[in-house]
């Protein structure tokens, strides 16, 4: 095994670096070593940021030892591996998660304490790694945690964007990498050339071609170790950064043209500079396609290089490699694999296609038409000319088959084609993803059903489609964010095993009828609410009543998610309070309505919604008639670490998308797991959540997916007045227009979307929403009943762990097995 030097010397050296997980002094030694030799500082000039960095580097040492063992074990064993390609990885902070997964949290807490620091304060020094926008990016983060925990051989591949999400009010980009990031290891030795533009020359009498010219740059790897929970297994997240092929143009420099001499260098680096800030919205920019290609090409070159070390023929690739595409963003990798096999490896076209279509699987995350990627053909052809040729061949073969099955059905061929006709033409990435994959899945039962009955109706036989309902990791979304509830569960069950087998929490369901347990459970919720109240007070100067109902709608701002329904409900409540007599006011339930989320920078209506929330908050929170009956909170700069404070404090989980629009939702799972009652439409994973917690423990509302189309049609073509559709909403609009929350004209474009077509059925669902809120208020009056339902919610969430989701993928799509690294 040891290829260099003396094996014993190596072994002894590695063992000398080993720290026992309970060894406080040993941990302190490694932290101090980083203080003095990595950071070149001393006890006398060490601030919290420095102490955080040294602690993080010490933890990183632990992770890297495991990472090394995992990679060398898997290299030796050569199991089939899954590669999860996601353009977004919304990881959040790492330190707390890492020490919990290593089972070293107490040791690090004591060691840093002894060195004069409070561990919680150090945790707060860390920047969020926010390489994502919303649910899709956070899902990838949960999945890689589960892959590592389940000992599945797998890696994630993404992009190392320097500037991540955009702040909604300030539009300030977040340069999260402006401090040293201790969690990434630059691999300057792992890099691949990437070509753009150029020309293609056919090779006569073959399906091969030579693609040359254009621009070339390099993709360089940065590795992020991902520890599994309670296992040695440590996965890898490999992120690519663009670099120039030669950093410097010596000819320009010598000719005295200094600007030109560095231009090509910054041009290349710009490719991976920004994260596109859209969620559920396709932007169609060339730079984005460049990002996608760089990431996919580098990942494939890396995967194939690893496979080639096995010295096996190409047709066995699907026995060793499966690639899961998180949405259509990595679809170009299907074509890239074809290109490499055909042009570079000289594999015949049909053989290459047979291999490729056994390697890829595609997850769809949305049915919204504006989110489906389709590239203008001229743009695509200019940037990736060889890939377009291959797509034409794929499409021709595909449509020939369709024509055989449905002779003469030209309309079907037009619908199914990978190329959309028109001026210009478009390349439909979802169609390409479906044709090139052996399995396609949606992310919740209802969503997977809708995919097959609506947008992808024609595209794949029944066998090709499946469902994998999303899940969230209970390590971050319970153990880390709600340690007291986690402890109560562990104490009551008598073991921590539920953290890797979440189904076990269902054993606690009968505790709903135990008054003492209810008391303990409620105390934890109150403490979490108090912790949030403290943060709101210190950060926003806002006082909230811990005895009020905390409702949480925390997600991207989007018309389909209908923050409006919630907001108009708040205004309705405000008007009711204003009209009520002091006697009547005493009977009104107290609410704290919490919103958090970002809007894409160019999404005008979503920004207007934020503006109205903020202005409603200004009036409501300071109106003496309201007293403590109502508070409205909009939390700026929503992030994973903010979510970790909000979620454990929520009483009500607001999930009110128009039925049929939210593919799954995942905050519904996190909030449910932390005991928030579901106030939701019959949409996405709400359906399965309501089924598991029992409909009498949730508040369902609104039209059903099956009816939405008809109501929408009638809103447009048999319009009735808003007054007729919802007199309550008409009154709310009047108040806005009258200037109750500042200049009413400002909101005209927002209100108009609802006066006119009301595509998302806000007016049609408003009455039902208010009725559901009334039921919430009634139940709140009986705290024992409320707590029962809260317990029945939390402990019925056992299916919504990402461990279950990832196991489903492993069994029904990837066909891979756990391959745990031996403990010693
Ligand atoms: N989703 O976050 C995104 N971005 C997109 O562009 C498309 C979909 C979300 O993915 C989540 C994970 O599957 C889903 O839970 C959520 O419903 C969907 O909107």
Q: How many angstroms does the Cα of residue 643 sit away from the middle of ligand 1?
A: 17
Q: What is the 8-class DSSP label of residue 214?
A: S
pLDDT band with cut points at 50, 70 and 90 for residue 168: very low
Q: How many angstroms does the Cα of residue 136 sit away from the middle of ligand 1?
A: 5
Residues 116 and 194 in one domain: no
Could you tell which of 284, 663, 800 is best to mutate to test the pocket of ligand 1, judged by most ligand atoms within 8 Å of the CB? 663
Q: How many angstroms does the Cα of residue 270 sit away from the middle of ligand 1?
A: 27
- Ligand 1 atom 15, closest CA: 665
**What ligand 1 atom has the least distance to the C-alpha of 365?**
8
**272 touches ligand 1 (CB under 6 Å):** no
Per-residue pLDDT tens digits for 170-183 = 456 666 666 789 99
Per-residue pLDDT tens digits for 281-307 = 998 999 999 999 999 999 999 999 999
Catalytic choice (60, 74, 561, 703): 561
Residues 563 and 673 in one domain: yes
Q: Strand 81-85 vs strand 321-326: parallel, antiparallel, or unpaired?
A: parallel
**What ligand 1 atom has the least distance to the C-alpha of 443?**
13
Cα distances (Å, whole numbers) of residue 676 to 488, 689, 693, 724: 17, 12, 11, 34
Whether residue 165 is predicted with pLDDT greater than 80 in this model: the reply is: no
**What ligand 1 atom has the least distance to the C-alpha of 139?**
12
User: What's the whole-number mean pLDDT along residues 749-774?
Assistant: 98
Residues 496 and 417 in one domain: no
- 522 domain residue, yes or no: yes
Per-residue pLDDT tens digits for 512-552 = 999 999 999 999 999 999 999 999 999 999 999 999 999 99
Catalytic choice (476, 556, 611, 631): 556
pLDDT, residue 592, reads 98
User: What's the whole-number mean pLDDT along residues 603-632?
Assistant: 98
**665 touches ligand 1 (CB under 6 Å):** yes
**What ligand 1 atom has the least distance to the C-alpha of 132?**
2
Q: How many angstroms does the Cα of residue 87 sit away from the middle of ligand 1?
A: 13
* CB-CB contact of 565 with 659 (8 Å): no
Q: Cβ atoms within 10 A of the Cβ of 728, count?
A: 18
**668 touches ligand 1 (CB under 6 Å):** no
**363 touches ligand 1 (CB under 6 Å):** no
Q: CB neighbours of 240 closer than 8 A, spacing ≥ 6? A: 157, 158, 159, 160, 219, 220, 221, 222, 272, 294, 295, 298, 299
Catalytic choice (670, 725, 789, 792): 670
Q: How many angstroms does the Cα of residue 663 sit away from the middle of ligand 1?
A: 6
- Ligand 1 atom 12, closest CA: 136
User: What's the whole-number mean pLDDT along residues 26-31?
Assistant: 97
**280 touches ligand 1 (CB under 6 Å):** yes
Q: How many angstroms does the Cα of residue 327 sit away from the middle of ligand 1?
A: 9
Is residue 365 part of the annotated active site? The answer reads yes
Q: How many angstroms does the Cα of residue 785 sit away from the middle of ligand 1?
A: 34
Residues 213 and 332 in one domain: yes
Is residue 556 part of the annotated active site? The answer reads yes
Residues 431 and 552 in one domain: no
**What are the counts of helices (DSSP H) followed by strands (DSSP E) for the chain?**
34, 22
Q: Which of 165-169, 586-590, 613-617, 754-758 has the lowest mean pLDDT?
A: 165-169
Catalytic choice (127, 387, 447, 555): 555
Whether residue 62 is predicted with pLDDT greater than 80 in this model: the reply is: yes
pLDDT, residue 14, reads 85
- Ligand 1 atom 7, closest CA: 280
Per-residue pLDDT tens digits for 141-158 = 999 999 999 999 999 999
Tokens at 366, concatenated: 């949305």
Q: How many angstroms does the Cα of residue 444 sit away from the middle of ligand 1?
A: 11
d(C-alpha 544, C-alpha 525), whole Å: 15
Residues 195 and 305 in one domain: yes
pLDDT, residue 252, reads 74
- 363 domain residue, yes or no: yes
- Ligand 1 atom 8, closest CA: 365
- Ligand 1 atom 6, closest CA: 280
Whether residue 265 is predicted with pLDDT greater than 60 in this model: the reply is: yes
Per-residue pLDDT tens digits for 203-258 = 999 999 999 999 999 999 999 999 999 999 999 999 999 999 876 667 777 787 77
Catalytic choice (564, 666, 681, 787): 666
**443 touches ligand 1 (CB under 6 Å):** yes
Q: How many angstroms does the Cα of residue 364 sit away from the middle of ligand 1?
A: 9
User: What's the whole-number mean pLDDT along residues 305-331?
Assistant: 98
Residues 623 and 761 in one domain: yes
d(C-alpha 335, C-alpha 391), whole Å: 7
**184 touches ligand 1 (CB under 6 Å):** no
- 804 domain residue, yes or no: no
**139 touches ligand 1 (CB under 6 Å):** yes
Structural domain that includes position 42: 17-77+101-127
Per-residue pLDDT tens digits for 553-574 = 999 999 999 999 999 999 999 9
d(C-alpha 34, C-alpha 182), whole Å: 11
**What ligand 1 atom has the least distance to the C-alpha of 657?**
17
Residues 137 and 107 in one domain: no
- 690 domain residue, yes or no: yes
Q: How many angstroms does the Cα of residue 715 sit away from the middle of ligand 1?
A: 27
- Ligand 1 atom 3, closest CA: 136
pLDDT band with cut points at 50, 70 and 90 for residue 637: very high
Residues 239 and 375 in one domain: yes
Whether residue 82 is predicted with pLDDT greater than 90 in this model: the reply is: yes
Is residue 670 part of the annotated active site? The answer reads yes
Q: Which residues of 790-801 are buried (b: 16+ CB within 10 A; e: fewer)?
A: bbbbbbbbbbbb
Q: Percent of the chain, pLDDT > 70?
A: 97
**277 touches ligand 1 (CB under 6 Å):** no
- 823 domain residue, yes or no: no
Residues paired with 361 in a beta bridge: 324, 439
User: What's the whole-number mean pLDDT along residues 667-677?
Assistant: 99
- Ligand 1 atom 1, closest CA: 136
Residues 46 and 155 in one domain: no
pLDDT band with cut points at 50, 70 and 90 for residue 169: very low
Residues 405 and 458 in one domain: yes
Catalytic choice (365, 386, 631, 789): 365
pLDDT, residue 248, reads 64
User: What's the whole-number mean pLDDT along residues 730-740?
Assistant: 98
pLDDT, residue 170, reads 45
- 803 domain residue, yes or no: no
pLDDT band with cut points at 50, 70 and 90 for residue 462: confident
d(C-alpha 165, C-alpha 178), whole Å: 14
**What ligand 1 atom has the least distance to the C-alpha of 447?**
17
Could you tell which of 281, 325, 365 is best to mutate to test the pocket of ligand 1, judged by most ligand atoms within 8 Å of the CB? 365
User: What's the whole-number mean pLDDT along residues 637-663?
Assistant: 98
Per-residue pLDDT tens digits for 346-382 = 999 999 999 999 999 999 999 999 999 999 999 999 9
CA 248-253-258 angle, to 5 degrees, is 90
* CB-CB contact of 809 with 325 (8 Å): no
**159 touches ligand 1 (CB under 6 Å):** no
Q: How many angstroms does the Cα of residue 315 sit away from the middle of ligand 1?
A: 34
Last residue of a domain, one of 420, 439, 469: 469
User: What's the whole-number mean pLDDT along residues 721-730?
Assistant: 97
**470 touches ligand 1 (CB under 6 Å):** yes
Residues paired with 242 in a beta bridge: 219
Q: How many angstroms does the Cα of residue 483 sit away from the middle of ligand 1?
A: 28
Q: How many domains does the chain divide into? A: 3
Q: Percent of the chain, pLDDT > 90?
A: 91
Per-residue pLDDT tens digits for 9-28 = 988 988 888 899 999 999 99
**419 touches ligand 1 (CB under 6 Å):** no
What burial class does residue 404 get, using C-beta atoms within 10 Å of its C-beta: 0-12 exposed, 13-18 middle, 19+ buried? exposed
Q: Does the pTM exceed 0.80?
A: yes
d(C-alpha 381, C-alpha 375), whole Å: 10
User: What's the whole-number mean pLDDT along residues 93-108?
Assistant: 98
Is residue 71 part of the annotated active site? The answer reads no
Residues 137 and 195 in one domain: yes
- 411 domain residue, yes or no: yes
Whether residue 647 is predicted with pLDDT greater than 70 in this model: the reply is: yes
Q: Which residues of 633-662 are buried (b: 16+ CB within 10 A; e: fewer)?
A: bbbbbbbbbbbbbbbbbbbbbbbbbbbbbb
**What ligand 1 atom has the least distance to the C-alpha of 137?**
2
Q: How many angstroms does the Cα of residue 235 sit away from the middle of ligand 1?
A: 24
d(C-alpha 442, C-alpha 683), whole Å: 13
Whether residue 167 is predicted with pLDDT greater than 70 in this model: the reply is: no
**H or E, element range at 552:** strand 549-554
**What ligand 1 atom has the least distance to the C-alpha of 684?**
17
**What ligand 1 atom has the least distance to the C-alpha of 685?**
15
Calculate the average pLDDT of the chain: 95
Is ipTM beyond 0.95?
yes
**What ligand 1 atom has the least distance to the C-alpha of 280?**
6
- 670 domain residue, yes or no: yes
**What ligand 1 atom has the least distance to the C-alpha of 327?**
7
CATH of the domain at 738: 3.40.50.2000
pLDDT, residue 2, reads 63
């Amino acid at each position: 095994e040891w290829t260099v030097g003396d094996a014993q010397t190596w072994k002894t050296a590695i063992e000398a670096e080993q720290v026992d997980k309970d060894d406080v002094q040993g941990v302190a030694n490694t932290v101090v070593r980083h203080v003095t030799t990595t950071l070149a500082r001393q006890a006398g000039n060490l601030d919290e940021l420095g102490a955080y960095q040294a602690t993080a580097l010490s933890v990183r040492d632990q992770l890297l030892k495991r990472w090394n063992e995992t990679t060398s074990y898997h290299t030796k064993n050569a199991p089939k591996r899954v590669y999860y390609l996601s353009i977004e990885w919304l990881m959040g902070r790492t330190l707390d998660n890492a020490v919990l997964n290593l089972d070293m949290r107490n040791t690090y807490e004591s060691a840093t304490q002894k060195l004069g620091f409070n561990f919680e304060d150090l945790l707060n020094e860390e920047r969020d790694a926010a390489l994502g926008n919303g649910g899709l990016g956070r899902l990838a983060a949960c999945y890689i945690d589960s892959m590592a925990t389940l000992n599945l051989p797998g890696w994630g591949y993404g992009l190392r964007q320097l500037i991540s999400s955009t702040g909604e009010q300030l539009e300030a980009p977040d340069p999260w990498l402006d401090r040293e990031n201790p969690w990434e290891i630059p691999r300057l030795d792992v890099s691949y050339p990437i070509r753009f533009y150029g020309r293609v020359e056919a090779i006569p009498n073959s399906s091969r071609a030579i693609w040359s010219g254009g621009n070339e740059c390099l993709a360089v790897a940065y590795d992020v170790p991902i520890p599994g929970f309670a296992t040695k297994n440590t996965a890898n997240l490999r992120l690519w950064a663009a670099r120039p092929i030669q950093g410097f143009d010596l000819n320009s420099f010598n000719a005295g043209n200094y600007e030109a001499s560095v231009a090509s260098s910054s041009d290349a680096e710009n490719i991976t500079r920004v994260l596109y800030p859209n969620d559920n919205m396709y932007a169609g920019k060339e730079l984005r396609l460049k990002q996608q290609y760089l990431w996919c090409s580098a990942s494939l070159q890396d995967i194939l290089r690893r496979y080639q070390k096995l010295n096996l023929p190409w047709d066995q690739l699907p026995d060793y490699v499966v690639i899961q595409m998180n949405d259509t963003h990595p679809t170009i990798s299907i074509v890239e694999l074809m290109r490499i096999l055909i042009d570079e490896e000289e594999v015949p076209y049909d053989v290459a296609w047979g291999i490729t279509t056994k390697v890829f699987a595609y997850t769809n995350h949305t049915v919204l038409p504006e989110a489906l990627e389709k590239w203008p053909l001229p743009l695509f052809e200019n940037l990736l000319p060889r890939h377009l040729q291959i797509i034409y061949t794929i499409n021709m073969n595909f449509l020939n088959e369709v024509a055989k099955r449905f002779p003469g059905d030209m309309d079907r061929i037009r619908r199914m084609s990978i190329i959309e006709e028109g001026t210009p033409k478009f390349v439909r990435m979802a169609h390409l993803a479906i044709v090139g994959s052996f399995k396609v899945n949606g992310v919740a039962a209802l969503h997977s059903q809708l995919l097959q009955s609506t947008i992808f109706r024609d595209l794949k036989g029944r066998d090709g489609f499946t469902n994998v309902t999303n899940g969230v990791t209970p390590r971050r979304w319970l153990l880390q964010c709600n340690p007291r509830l986690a402890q109560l569960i562990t104490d009551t069950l008598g073991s921590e095993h539920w953290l890797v087998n979440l189904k076990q929490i269902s054993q606690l369901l009968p505790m709903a009828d135990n008054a003492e347990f209810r008391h303990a459970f409620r105390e934890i919720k109150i403490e979490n609410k108090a912790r949030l109240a403290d943060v709101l007070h210190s950060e926003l100067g806002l006082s909230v009543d811990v005895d009020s109902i905390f409702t949480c709608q925390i997600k991207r701002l989007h018309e389909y998610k209908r923050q409006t329904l919630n907001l108009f409900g708040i205004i309705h409540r405000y008007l009711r309070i204003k009209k009520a007599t002091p006697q009547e006011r005493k009977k009104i339930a107290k609410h704290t309505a919490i919103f958090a989320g970002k809007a894409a920078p160019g999404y005008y209506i979503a920004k207007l919604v934020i503006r109205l929330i903020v202005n409603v908050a200004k009036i409501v929170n300071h109106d003496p008639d309201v007293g403590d009956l109502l508070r409205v909170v909009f939390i700026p700069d929503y992030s994973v670490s903010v979510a970790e404070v909000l979620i454990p404090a929520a009483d009500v989980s607001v999930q009110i998308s128009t039925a049929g629009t939210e593919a799954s939702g995942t905050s519904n799972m996190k909030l449910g797991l932390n005991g928030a009652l579901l106030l939701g439409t019959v949409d996405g994973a709400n359906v399965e959540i309501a089924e598991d917690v029992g409909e009498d423990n949730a508040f369902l509302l609104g039209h059903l997916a099956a009816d939405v189309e008809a109501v929408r049609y009638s809103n447009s073509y048999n319009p009735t007045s808003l007054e007729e559709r919802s007199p309550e909403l008409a009154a709310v609009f009047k108040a806005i227009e009258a200037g109750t929350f500042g200049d009413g004209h400002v909101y005209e474009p927002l209100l108009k979307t609802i006066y006119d077509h009301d595509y998302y059925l806000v007016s049609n669902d408003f009455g039902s929403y208010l009725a559901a809120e009334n039921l919430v208020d009634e139940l709140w009056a009986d705290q024992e009943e409320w707590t029962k339902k809260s317990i029945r919610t939390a402990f019925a969430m056992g299916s919504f762990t990402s461990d279950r989701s990832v196991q489903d993928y492993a069994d029904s799509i990837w066909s891979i097995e756990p391959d745990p690294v031996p403990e010693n």
